[in-house]
Structure 1
Amino acid sequence: MTRLTHHLNILLSTLMLCGAACLASSATAGITYRLEQTHAVPGETVNVRAVLFNDSDTALTWTTPKNLVLQWRSENGKTIRSLAYLDGAEAAINVPVNNFVKLSWRAVVPSEAQGLQAVNIEGEPTLMALDTSPKEHSLIASGPAAVPVIDAGAASAGSRSDPPLPENVVAAAGATADQGPPVTARYGLASNSNSAFENFRSAISAYEPIYFDVGNKGGKNARYQVSFKYRLFTPNDPENPEFVDNIYLGYTQTALWDLHSDSHPFVDTSFKPSLFWRKDALWQSAQKDWFVGLATGVEHESNGKSGDDSRSLNFAYIQPELNYRFDGGSTLTFAPRIKSYFSLESHNPDYADYAGHVDWKLRFAQDNGLVLTGLYRQGDKGRNATQIEAAWPLRRTFLNMNGYIHVQYFKGYSETLLGYNHKSDGQVRLGIALVP
């Protein structure tokens, strides 16, 4: 065997091993089930919850079954079969790459079910448990287990009992003599926490894009924006929110920063508080590919300055949002914001002549991929503004970090509130976005 042949064999073997490793670790799609309740008596309704997940590299289409066949098996081996009924209508669900969909079926506990039941979904390797005994006789819901925590598998030769763990080890795990700690609450995952911080954290979310970009046309400069929204009411039923559950307070701050001058002054900053109602899907097609959302509210914008540099405006708006989900795992959104101004300040009464009454927005977003956004405004007498943005996740680069690499192009009027009636030449800025 020549040296060249030997090296080629080594290379081929390496490639085959790498390919096998990739196949062995390839992502999959599937569904997991669980019972929402651990205790229910005969005649009561229980909920079978499911998560349909897609960790593969292609979009998944799955038709939800109207019924699941359940097997109920008691401790003495008695078997009962019944049906669980889908919440909602049957539909072909599109699950994008790296996404999931929650589903639910309702089932009534059979009248003949007694004691602890092993519940199986026929055709699935899923086994769940439900205690159907009255609570005072329940094996699960009757009370804590007043037995020691043992060192499982540590039984000595000739003994069938594992010894109890030392008290300090049990205490370090957060357990008492008869009950362990609720894991979700202990590690900050409790969804029903009533603390002020938990309520705040669950109500706040992203609103407009958050980015910091730097350009060098006409001297080094930066443009940045921070934004968030706050849900005013917590839904009693998150899966079926009421009208008031979609009311938000919003805040956005945009600034243009001069990095070229000696003192690095801010050219202008816009402060934009808002109050609005928003729902992402007022209507959606049976195939879940088309869906229509709506946002409407009022917004105030000012630059916080006084005297001749003071600028402020108020407007009410309505923003219909037409969305289309592609099978490949991306979404195209057309969302024109139609504005009606009121209470314009005396320093900028002609603002609408430069910024127009409609923000024409178009957005294309791949799941965990490229995000493209376009904004166009048309004022009077040919005055207009164009803003184009592109973002790419940094986790998909050699940096492997959070956030996005962000590129923004702007040309036209109203880049700042102070200079709304001055036309900006085309400017490209590059930076990082937290929310594209």
Structure 2
Amino acid sequence: MYFKYLLPFIILFSITANSQIVEEKKNFRAADSLLKEHSFSVHRDNYFLTGVPLNEPITRNSADVKYQISFKQRLTGKPWVGGFFPYLMYTQKAFWDIYASSKPFSEINFNPGVAIVRPFYLKGGRLTYATISFEHESNGRDSIYSRTWNMLAFSLKSQISPRWTVGIRGWIPFVDNEDNPGLTKYVGYGEASATYQIKPGRWSADVLFRKGSGLINYGSLQTQVNWKPYKNENYYITLQWFVGYTESLIDYQEHKSMLRLGFTIKPENMGIF
């Protein structure tokens, strides 16, 4: 039943493998883009943000802190057959009701995974990463509070110009519908991302759009503006707006709209996805 979701990505990987990878010399340069990073490095954004809801009254229980820790480990210093590099990845996202009286954590989501990444150049010298990953995401709880799913994901991310980086990612979800009824409808089957360097080295903007399986409902949109106060440091002041579903797993069926402000540590180079 998942073949219709897998077919477009088979085509994409076939195209990149047969017609869009340029001469061997450039393949080595593309691989260097991963090798110049430390083997242990930032994966997704690491951030600490605090904010308030825009679609409900602001109270001590509705305002919160959201933070994320994300890293990856490259397992080899040389590519495998086919030019792929193997990675281990881990992301943890937490929601902390820091303004409530007992300051509890309302939710923590754990997202480990493994991936193989193929760096190459598109025509015009555009650095691109093709990635296949298998990931697990859950909140580590049991009984009626358990939320968990797995995915086999495929992605392409490309620096199409000095200022623009775009990505597309799709996945085959594996969900226990008995414990997580309708979760697939909310997490959907893919997402698209874009980053624009407003002022390279100082100002940037990010957009992440996830499409739910409904025609117009579900899904989510996350946008943020980042300002680097010190050019030689790798942290940013970030203003982030999230609207939609599945910001956290525990309340994936609830529509959220949150505006948050804080600081972010980004990957030093273009992230793999």
Q: TM-score range by the shorter chain?
A: 0.7 to 0.9
Q: Which residue of 2 aligns with 1:347?
A: 179
Counterpart pick for 1:230 among 73, 81, 88: 73
Counterpart pick for 1:394 among 216, 229, 250: 229
Rounded to whole Å, the distance in 2 between the matches of 1:269 and 1:248 is 23
**Residue 251 of structure 1: how far off its partner (Å):** 0.1
Q: Which residue of 2 aligns with 1:246?
A: 85
Q: Which residue of 2 aligns with 1:416?
A: 248
Counterpart pick for 1:276 among 91, 115, 125: 115
Q: Which residue of 2 aligns with 1:92?
A: none
TM-score, normalization: structure 2?
0.75
Structure 1 residues 300, 415: closer, same or farther in 2, change over 3 A?
same
Greater relative contact order, per chain length (Cα 8 Å cut-off, separation 6+): 2
For 2:209, give the aligned amino acid: Y
Q: Which residue of 1 aligns with 2:100?
A: 261
Rounded to whole Å, the distance in 2 between the matches of 1:350 and 1:247 is 33
Structure 2: where are the runs of 5+ without partners? Answer: 1-23, 27-31, 268-273
Tell me, what secondary structure is at the counterpart of 1:325? coil
**Residue 209 of structure 1: how far off its partner (Å):** 0.6
Tell me, yes or no, if the aligned pair for 2:234 and 2:266 is still in contact at 8 Å: no
Tell me, what secondary structure is at the counterpart of 1:422? coil
Rounded to whole Å, the distance in 2 between the matches of 1:249 and 1:346 is 29
Tell me, yes or no, if the aligned pair for 1:205 and 1:228 is still in contact at 8 Å: yes
Matched-pair identity in %? 27
Given the alignment of the two structures, is residue 375 of structure 1 paired with residue 205 of structure 2, yes or no? Answer: no
The structure number with the bigger radius of gyration is 1
Structure 1 residues 245, 204: closer, same or farther in 2, change over 3 A?
farther
Rounded to whole Å, the distance in 2 between the matches of 1:364 and 1:262 is 40
For 2:72, give the aligned amino acid: K
TM-score, normalization: structure 1?
0.48
- Whichever structure has more strand as a proportion of its residues is 2
Q: Which residue of 2 aligns with 1:72?
A: none
Structure 1 residues 335, 401: closer, same or farther in 2, change over 3 A?
closer
Aligned alpha-carbon RMSD (Å): 2.6
Structure 1: where are the runs of 5+ without partners? Answer: 1-86, 90-100, 103-200, 236-240
**Residue 386 of structure 1: how far off its partner (Å):** 0.8
For 2:228, give the aligned amino acid: P
Q: Which residue of 2 aligns with 1:169?
A: none
Q: Aligned ranges for residues 64-79 of structure 1 at < 5 Å?
A: none
